[in-house]
Structures are given as structure tokens and as C-alpha cells.
Structure 1
Amino acid sequence: MTDFIGEIAALSAACLWAVASIVYAKLGARIPPLQLNLIKGIIAIALFVFTIVVRGEIFPAIATLPMSLILLSGVIGISLGDTAFFITINCLGARRALLMQTLTSPMSAIFGLIFLQEKLNILAGCGILLTILGVAWVVSERTTDVKQISTTEFRRGITFGLLTAVAGAIGAVLSRSAFSINTNASINPLWAALLRLSAGILILMIWTLFKQHSFRLSNLRDSRTITATIFAAFCGTYLGIWLQQTAIKFTSVGIASTLLQTSPIFVIPFAIWMGEKVSIRAILGVFISIAGIALLFYLK
């Protein structure tokens, strides 16, 4: 089982992100996206610090280069990538934005091949492609929640959707590079997650002050809203990013990114549980993705 620690961590993160996305969809009507992003990040940072204190893990002796790569990964992947993703959602809607985000997987594999010399055989490539096709088939299904958009909005959404995918791929490759560098001290995924998130949130805070956005705590006066926000931050940001960094450390960046993009597949069981109607197409898409995931595990 330890041979699959990276793959299991990636799928676990995707599942938790699916749970968190359902909660964030409800919170989005009450809290502006940028403010919600900052709040969940701050909560997750506090949880990371608490975990590190409880576990008694002192600050690791990380060399300058891997430290810089991790911090830069947070700036690009979280600050730039998440912001671009929010804009994509506003322009294209949630389903089309998720479809654009699936491009992160092949881009990560390509960047990993170019910059990290991570080679994938033909069968592994087929597994990645099969997984992406399954996810894409699910999120591209025509439903009543797909909004009608103008040509200008469409072009803007496509542009920022591509930026989201590129930023996510670069962030993943930078993290993988930090783990791959041979140093005397191995980087703990827990510390990597804290450093990456802290860098991303710091840039978001500076950007918020620069843009003079109002940060109102009045949105969190409702106890149910506070509880939901803490729960989503715990699942999606704290555990999600920790597991993401674990996945990137223990498996190739192409496979990790592919499995991390399977969140839409995990949403379906929750949708059925919540009483929503799920089409045969969506279920078939799940089985296609599962076939791709099984192929990736088999090749390991």
C-alpha cells in the first residue's frame, strides 16, 4: 500500500475538494470570492501551525533553492491560479471552468517531461488521457446551470481558464522540483503545504490592500456560516493542500495532477445523496475516469 501513497493522497485530496466545493457553492452567495479565499486560507494556516506545534516538528533546514521553489509555487499556483479560476467561473460558469481546469493535467505532464525529465510510457499516457476524458465528459454535460454568455465573456473566460491551467501546472512542477532536489534534509509535505499556502495568502492580502477591497467580518456573524467556512477550510484547504503536496512528493507530477483533477467525479455520489438527478452520461464518465485511474495504479 505504501507504494501507492502518492496516488492515494491525490485521490483523497480530490475527494475532499469535492466536499469543500459543495460547501463553497453555498457560501459563495454570502461571502465574496476573494474574501472567502482569504478567510479559508487564514483558517488553514492556523490549523497547519497548530498541527506542527502538536507534532513537535521544528522548522526544517530547507536549502535556499527548494524554499524559493515552494514559495514561488504558492504565489503562482494559489494567488495567480485561484484568482484566474474565480474570474473563469464568473465568465463561463462553474462547469465550463472545471472543464478548462482539466487542462492542468496534460500541461503538468508536459512541463514535468521538459523540466524534470519525468518520462511517461504510452500506457501511462493512455491512463492520463482516459481519466481526463472521463472528467471532461462529466463537467461538459449540458445542464440548466450553464449560463448563456456573450462572445466577449467567452473569450475572457477562455483566456483566464488557460491561465488557471498554466498556473496550476507551473505550481505543481515547482513543488515537485523542490521535493526532487537532493539535500541533506527531506522536505516534509506538511511544512511544504504551510509555506506554499502562506506565500499565496500573503500575496492575496497585499493585492487586497492595493486594490482597497473592503474586508467585512459581518459576513461571518451567522454561526452556520462560520461553521461551514471552518469545515470547508479544514477539508479543502488544510487537508487538501497537505495531501496535494504529499502526492506531488511521492509520484510523478503528471500522474499526481491527473488524479488531483478528479474532483468532479467525486461530486456525483454527493449529488445523488442530496437528491439531485444524475444522468447516465455522468455515470459513464465516472466509469471512464475510474478505468484511467485503475490503469495508472496498475502501471505502478
Structure 2
Amino acid sequence: MELINFRGEIAALGAAFLWAVSTLMFGRLGKQLVPLLLNFVKGSMALGFILLTLLWRTQSAPELPLFSVLFLLLSGVIGIGLGDTAYFAALNHLGPRRVLLMEALAPPMSALLALLFLQERLPAIAWVGITLSVGGVAWVITERVPDVHPQGENLPRGVTLGLLAALGQAVGAVLSRAALADTAVDPLWSTLLRLGAGLVCMLALLRARPQAGGGWPALRSPLLLGGVAIAAFLGTYLAIWLQQTALKYSPTGIAQSLTATSPLFILPMALLLGERISARAVLGALVAIAGVWLLL
């Protein structure tokens, strides 16, 4: 089998890895910047990276049907402007591992929405694969010690924000799939449109909530600014480009299910940091890998 036949699935796994790395970074950065401002700054940096790449590749703007442009813009508003902001807010309440667990709800949401609105039907074996991969992720995450110990109203607030983040990911993915499925547009251009729309949404929210922009002075720190730049490059620029590639070349349910395996990549990171990995964590990883195999 040629790898080109699975470029969508490979791109999804690449995005999953980068999201795992960047989530750990954003978890630390979120302690110094409020979620909306952090989302806006990392999105602005990622937009700059994309523009530089397009200039380097000397690609002209594609001709897209109006409905595709509208779907991509709406996808950016919901998935990046609102969904990512909810994700960063949930990160402050629940910690990286619990938030990644909540994101595991995005694939079944995406598959259901794609079934309802795109008539995108998956064979039974693909649904089994989705169930195994998501179940394996949940098995791994729930066994690990949480990064934070929410108390009182923080836990329900964090869970609500996590659900909104997962729903934003699902809706954004379905809209992107609807816009890209029958077009020849480069995924980088679609990423540019989504990020641009998301930034306009965030800018409007920042103007409506001036207190959310009170963290600007913290960005004078070169160390903090450099950390945001690295996380934006990995988790937004590269990861969203790969996600758009996955959504273009593979069905929505499969693309979202594979990107939901990002918590599994934390296991080798934990080993490198000297943590012990339990038998349950290994078993959960094997179950999720079995699900990936079925999807492929």
C-alpha cells in the first residue's frame, strides 16, 4: 500500500502529536495570559507563519465557490475563535490531560454531524475503530493523575467549557469537510481563511470585553513571547494545516478520531520525563492503536 493513499490519516496523526506537545505548553502559558488573549496572540502569530509560507511558495489565491468560502469562514469563527478560546479556558480549570479527554468527544460528534448534514456514511468496521480509538484514549487519560484538582464551581465550569470546545471542534471540522471535499484548494489556503475569521471573531470579543486584554503587558517578556511563538508554530500553524489536509483527504469521522489520539503521545513524553507508565496505560494505548488500525 502506498502512503499517499493514507495522506489524510497520516496528517491527522501528525496533528495529534503536535496538539499533545502544544497543549502541555499552552497549559503553562495559560497561567500568565487569559484564554482569549492567549488564543488571539497565538492565532496572530500562526497567521503570520502561513502568510510567509504562501509568499515563499508564490501561490496565487485559489478560486473557491462562495459557499466554500462562507463555510470555511464560519468554521474558523466556531472552531478557532470560540472553540479554541473555550479550550484554553477549560485548560485552566481541568489541566491538559482532562481537557484532552474532553476533546475525545469531538470525533463521535463530528461523525454524527457529518451523517446528518453531509450524508457521509461510514462502514460498521469504521465505527468500531472510532469506538476503540476514543475508548483507548479515555482509558489512558482517566488513569493518569490530573494536573489540577478542581474544587467547588471550577469543575462544572471546566466540564462545560470542555464540552463547548469539543463541540466547536466538531462543528468546525464538518464545515471544513463540506467546504473542501469537492475542491482542489490547498489546505494551507483554507487554514488561512479559517484563522483569519477566527481572529476577527476574537478581536470583536476583545473589544467587547476590554478586561480580557489586560494581559498585554505580560507579553513584554521575551521568554513568554517566545514560548507563545513556538506553541503557535507547532500547535496552530502546523497542526491546523495538517488537520485541514486530513479533512480534505479522509472522511470527517476518521480524521477527527485520529486527531483525538493526541493524549496517547503524552505517554512517551512522560517516560522521557521520568514518570512510570502503568499496565493500564499501555493497555489503553494498545486498544487505541487497534482502533487506528481498523480505521486505516
Question: In structure 2, what is the Cα distance between the partners aligned to 1:144 and 1:13?
Answer: 23
- The aligned residue for residue 129 of structure 2 is 127
User: How far did 1:88 drift?
Assistant: 2.9
Q: How far does the alpha carbon of each residue in 1:56-113 deviate from its partner, in whole angstroms, 9 at most, with x for none?
A: 1111111211000000000011112122223333444433322222111111111111
Q: Which runs of 5+ in 1 are unaligned?
A: none
Map 1:60-139 to 2 at 5 A: 60-139=62-141
Question: In structure 1, what is the Cα distance between the partners aligned to 2:53 and 2:140?
Answer: 36
Q: Secondary structure at the match of 2:213?
A: coil
Q: Please tell me the residue identity of whatever aligns with 2:237.
A: Y
- The aligned residue for residue 42 of structure 1 is 44
Percent identity between the two aligned chains: 46
- The aligned residue for residue 270 of structure 2 is 271
Question: In structure 1, what is the Cα distance between the partners aligned to 2:150 and 2:27?
Answer: 19
- The aligned residue for residue 230 of structure 1 is 229
- The aligned residue for residue 248 of structure 2 is 249
Q: In 2 relative to 1, CA 89–227 (structure 1 residues): closer, same or farther, beyond 3 Å?
A: closer
Q: In 2 relative to 1, CA 111–214 (structure 1 residues): closer, same or farther, beyond 3 Å?
A: closer
- The aligned residue for residue 172 of structure 1 is 173
Map 1:142-291 to 2 at 5 A: 142-143=144-145, 145-150=147-152, 152-181=153-182, 186-212=184-210, 213-291=212-290
Q: Which runs of 5+ in 2 are unaligned?
A: none
Question: In structure 1, what is the Cα distance between the partners aligned to 2:28 and 2:43?
Answer: 18
Q: In 2 relative to 1, CA 277–223 (structure 1 residues): closer, same or farther, beyond 3 Å?
A: farther
Q: Please tell me the residue identity of whatever aligns with 2:189.
A: W
Q: In 2 relative to 1, CA 43–172 (structure 1 residues): closer, same or farther, beyond 3 Å?
A: same
With structure 2 as the length reference, what TM-score do the two structures score?
0.93
Question: In structure 1, what is the Cα distance between the partners aligned to 2:59 and 2:102?
Answer: 38
User: How far did 1:274 drift?
Assistant: 1.9
* Segment drifting more, 8-17 vs 210-219: 210-219
RMSD, aligned CA:
1.8
Q: Give yes or no for contact 2:73–2:193 (8 Å, CA) kept in 1.
A: yes
Q: Give yes or no for contact 1:95–1:146 (8 Å, CA) kept in 2.
A: no
Q: In 2 relative to 1, CA 235–142 (structure 1 residues): closer, same or farther, beyond 3 Å?
A: closer
Q: Give yes or no for contact 2:83–2:164 (8 Å, CA) kept in 1.
A: yes
Q: How far does the alpha carbon of each residue in 1:37-63 deviate from its partner, in whole angstroms, 9 at most, with x for none?
A: 111111100010011111011111112
Q: How far does the alpha carbon of each residue in 1:98-146 deviate from its partner, in whole angstroms, 9 at most, with x for none?
A: 2222111111111111111111111111111000011111111251534
* Segment drifting more, 221-230 vs 287-296: 221-230
With structure 1 as the length reference, what TM-score do the two structures score?
0.92
Q: Please tell me the residue identity of whatever aligns with 2:65.
A: A
Q: Give yes or no for contact 1:73–1:172 (8 Å, CA) kept in 2.
A: yes
Q: Please tell me the residue identity of whatever aligns with 2:120.
A: E
Question: In structure 2, what is the Cα distance between the partners aligned to 1:161 and 1:23?
Answer: 18
Question: In structure 2, what is the Cα distance between the partners aligned to 1:223 and 1:280?
Answer: 41
User: 4+ residue runs of structure 1 moved beyond 6 angstroms?
Assistant: none
Q: Please tell me the residue identity of whatever aligns with 2:181.
A: S
Q: In 2 relative to 1, CA 96–18 (structure 1 residues): closer, same or farther, beyond 3 Å?
A: closer
